[in-house]
């Protein structure tokens, strides 16, 4: 399953907001430096979908706020 994610780094709290079936907004506390925010997004999504982090892969947008993620 592919989902489209808009990331908000350096947020006050970590959360996932479902906009529709394939669009999500993810807020993470980590800054977008050295892949920290990407790892946090994968961790938060793994908790949200109740799966392991190894089942989540960033397909596109690793340096952008807009990402395509495969689960």
**What does the pLDDT profile of the chain (71 residues) look like in tens digits?**
999 999 999 999 999 999 999 999 999 999 999 999 999 999 999 999 999 999 999 999 999 999 999 99
Contact call for residues 4 and 25 (beta carbons, < 8 A): no
Phi-psi region of 44 (alpha: psi -120 to 50; beta: other; left: phi over 0): alpha
Query: Would you tell me how many other CB atoms lie within 10 Å of the CB of residue 27?
Result: 19
Whole-model pTM? 0.92
Cα distances from 27 to residues 32, 41, 44, 66, 70, in angstroms, run 12, 8, 9, 12, 18
Yes or no: say if 65 and 7 are a contact pair by the CB < 8 Å rule.
Answer: yes
């Amino acid at each position: 399953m592919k989902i489209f994610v808009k990331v908000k780094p350096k947020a006050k709290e970590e959360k996932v907001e479902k906009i529709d079936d394939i669009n999500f907004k993810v807020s993470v506390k980590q800054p977008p430096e050295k892949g920290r925010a990407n790892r946090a997004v994968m961790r938060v999504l793994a908790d949200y979908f109740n799966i392991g982090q190894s089942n989540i892969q960033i397909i596109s947008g690793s340096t952008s706020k807009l990402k395509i993620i495969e689960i």
